[in-house]
Structure 1
Amino acid sequence: MGFWDWTKNFFTENQETIYVTQKAIENASTKLNIKMFGIAMAIGFIASTISKCEFKTYVGNEEIKGSEYYLWNIEPNINESSSQFKRKLISQLLFFDEALIVEVNGQLLVADSFYQHEFAVAENYFTDVTVKDFTFNKSFKMSEVMYFKSNDMNIRQLLVELINGYEELNGMAEGKYKRSGGRKGIIKLSKSPSGDKKFQDELNDLFNNQFKNYFEAENAVIHLSNGMDYTEQGGEATKKSTSEISDIQNITKEAFDRIAQAFKMPPALLRGDIAGIGEITDNYLTFCIDPICKILYEEVNRKRYGKEFLKGSYIKVDTTSIRHIDIFSISEAFDKLIASGGYSVDELRVKVGDNPLNTEWSTRHWMTKNYSDIENIEGGESDE
């Protein structure tokens, strides 16, 4: 590419007058990618939240910690911990609206890509299943895998189309900010550089090196050859304004709010606001986390347990471990749950992250004397 072809991207040429800006010299026209940043933040937030969930296993309605429990909560495969595995699973599910787990030699693997062959009545199957850089040279029947589907529509594509409009507005705000903040000047040439290689080389050095150093330095001078006249442009146009920064912040906030709503997250949570965090967290768990955990619960149970589910053998995704619990702040509630017979001491100790005592009395359910059967209360009143 010739010098003048290159400069057309950065300068406005008017006969032999060239308008120079600091940002053009630095070639720093970086565009904020709001959509990918916001979507990645939201998905990462949700995936990290669900990775904290405990997958409890039950046999005959009794909680059991065996090989299935170990598989989901400690080591699903030799290369990933359960947290890494769950984060990848949820990230695939939310980003692509679908995710696939295959079992190979007793290991659970989340596929990076796959192709599903769908049928109306016959069993679907999957081909081109790839995990990292390995592609399986076999097909997997639907009954052999765990296939998770979140929506009928691709949320990512809808978000991209929506956020593109915000990025256009943001690009305008960025351009306004750069124009208001950059130093500007005009170079007038007494002759055209066309056909004069030496003069073109001098211009190359001037724009690529000398002006860059001149704009970056706190105090500087610059040498101009004969036939060049540079005039610094001052005035209000070169002063930075906080309004441009506010424009960018407001547009970014609006885009983040739309992304959060698409994932059913409270927008304040994605923005990092802490006001009313208790209520925000409750909404987040109810409308965002619980539906995703329901998808996991249904597919894992129908594929891993089948109709044994009816006999009390199943996996439960326990979301209570998501919240951080301060035992001193819930001491009254803790006492009430024991006094009402709702939970044993050991059950509540597990809920708050302590080890169970595993004693005869700690596994029993207790009820204080002020609780009584309603029939006894009515009978007592009629005897008076």
Structure 2
Amino acid sequence: MGKNEAIEFSYDLDLLHETSNKTYMKKWALNTSINLIARTISQTKFEVLDKGVKDETSVTYYKLNVRPNTDESASTFWQRVIRKLILDNEVLIVVTDTKDLIIADDFEREEYALYDDIFKHVKVDDYEFERNFKMSDVIYLTYSNESITSMVEGLFADYGELFGRMIANKKLENQIRATLAMDGTVPMNKDSQAKIQDFVSKAYEAYSTNDVAIIPVRKGYTYEEHSKSTTSKTTSVDELSKVPTELLKFVSRSLHIPVGLILGETADIEAMTDNYMKFCITPILEMITDELNAKWFSEKGYKEGKRIKAISIDAYDPIQKAEAIDKLIASSVFTVNQVLDMFGYPPSEDADADKRVITKNLQSVKEVSESSLKGGENNEDRPQ
């Protein structure tokens, strides 16, 4: 188009606006879902059992429930474990010589078919361990076949652009549009360009900072506003909120969290919570306890009754379930010790706790059979 000062000047007015992807929306959706899971699991209590008896004096119990390492509480530690597990699809926990549990920030895994895999270049913050770790010496957890972040990456590329455009359109709805016409006789030089730019800047400042603005126009210039057509469809705030909500729903479904629970809905909250614990939390806890039992106890020790058991926040409350407990024992379906085990309590040493009883008199099945369920002092007086 050739060298033209007027064209150069038009590019200096910054008339173009770049639409940006709203990356914070993806981070919000992921953090909302992952934090819910992390907070739930951080409230889990790990019991160390030896032949069915709880051992709360062992180092293992202290590390799992009180202080895994010198810098973190158990709650903070398990929240970090779950966040890294879901975001990175794997997490490596190293057991140091002092029995501290440390979450590795970076590592390299060397896989073998018939021998233990080897973890090399294990790093925690800026510190790198000088030795390698065998699979049998560490706690290694994997979440699924594919990382959740890679799953939402493609979806977010579309949702982020859509959300960015909707926000841009919302901003432009009530934007003042104007043109400044110049008389052809006005010379176009650096001095006149500076005056025009000064006029545009003052007009923008007047409209953006005052409810009423009066703009003086010099001879040779014509200032004209162009209002947007009122017939065009505008973007409502509700439409803007639907986009991040839909992304949040996708992430929550991918993590097996009921949508109503993550959105704070109160209808049928008990069923949603039960669904959440059964299909989201319990599988993760099972994976953690299986790994802990496999790495901290030998096969012989496990068969002898040494194991770690996770008690989640949805554990049965014996007071709330008192009526159900009575029916389970009184109907001879379960023994007292079996019910105690359901509620996470140690077994009773009373010999009768392993007997099946029936009726509310809590008689043994043998006693009931011998008494032939007599209903009065003289069974012969009962009508046939």
TM-score normalised over the length of structure 1: 0.77
| Cα RMSD for the two superposed structures | 4.0
Contact 2:21 2:161 in 1 (8 A): no
SS state of the match for residue 106, structure 1? coil
In the alignment of these two chains, the number of paired residues is: 355
- The Cα shift of 1:212 comes to 4.1
Distance 2:61 2:321 in 1: 29
The reply to whether residue 292 of structure 1 matches residue 284 of structure 2 is: yes
Q: Does 1:301 align with 2:293?
A: yes
CA deviation profile, 1:245-269 (whole Å, cap 9, x unmatched): 2322333222222111110111111
Give the TM-score taking structure 2 as reference length.
0.77
Q: Determine whether 1:275 maps to 2:239.
A: no
Indicate how the Cα distance of structure 1 residues 194 and 36 shifts in structure 2: closer, same or farther if over 3 A, else same.
Answer: farther
1:128 to 121, 127, 148: 121
Q: Note if contact 1:74-1:82 (Cα within 8 Å) is conserved in structure 2.
A: yes
Q: Measured at CA, do residues 152 and 56 of structure 1 come closer, stay the same or move farther in structure 2, by a change above 3 Å?
A: same
Q: 1:360 to 1:126 in 2, by over 3 A?
A: closer
Report the equivalent of 2:52. Answer: 61
Q: Which residue of 2 aligns with 1:19?
A: none
**1:117 counterpart letter in structure 2:** E
> Does structure 1 residue 101 correspond to structure 2 residue 93?
yes
1:35 aligns with 2:26: yes
For the 8 Å contact 1:183–1:238, the answer to whether it is kept is: no
Alignment-derived partner of residue 266 in structure 1: 258
1:45 to 13, 19, 36: 36
Task: Return the letter of the residue paired with 1:75.
Answer: R
2:145 pairs with 1:147:
no
Q: Which secondary structure does the structure 1 equivalent of 2:116 belong to?
A: coil
CA distance in 1, matches of 2:324, 2:201: 70
State the structure with more CA Rg: 2
Q: Which residue of 1 aligns with 2:5?
A: none
CA deviation map 1:340-359 (0-9, x unaligned) = 77668x969x97xxxx9xx9
Q: Write the distance in 2 (CA, Å) between the matches of 1:125 and 1:236.
A: 67
The aligned residue for residue 21 of structure 1 is none
CA contact (8 A) 1:111 1:129 kept: yes
User: Using the alignment, how far apart are the partners of 1:211 and 1:326 within structure 2?
Assistant: 69
Following superposition, the deviation at residue 335 of structure 1 comes to 6.0
Residue 234 of structure 1 is matched in structure 2 by 227
1-structure distance, mates of 2:206, 2:295:
65
Kept in 2, the 8 Å contact 1:159–1:262? The answer is: no
8 Å Cα contact 1:185-1:232 kept in structure 2: yes
Q: SS of 1:184's equivalent?
A: coil
Letter in 2 for 1:78: T
Partner Cα separation in structure 2 for residue 177 and residue 237 of structure 1: 14
- Residue 244 to residue 281, structure 1, CA distance change in 2 (3 Å): same
Kept after mapping to 1: 8 A contact 2:335/2:353:
no
What code does the residue aligned with 2:55 have?
Answer: I
CA shift in 2, pair 1:29/1:184, >3 Å: farther
Q: Distance in 2 between matches of 1:374 and 1:324?
A: 27
Change (3 A) 1:135 1:61: same
Note the C-alpha offset of 1:205.
Answer: 4.7
AA matched with 1:48: R
- Structure 1, unmatched stretches of 5+, are 12-23
Q: What secondary structure, in the 3-state scheme, does the structure 1 residue paired with 2:120 have?
A: strand
Q: For residue 268 of structure 2, what is the amino acid of its counterpart?
A: G
Measured in 2, the distance between the counterparts of 1:150 and 1:162 equals 21
Provide the rounded CA distance (Å) in 2 between the counterparts of 1:33 and 1:289: 26
1:77 maps to what in 2?
69
Q: Percent identity?
A: 27
Q: Against the structure 1 CA distance between its residues 62 and 216, is the aligned structure 2 distance closer, same or farther, given a 3 Å change threshold? A: same
On the 8 A contact 1:177/1:240 being kept in 2, the answer is: no
**Structure 2: gaps spanning 5 or more residues:** 1-7
Task: Tell me the equivalent position of 2:151.
Answer: 158
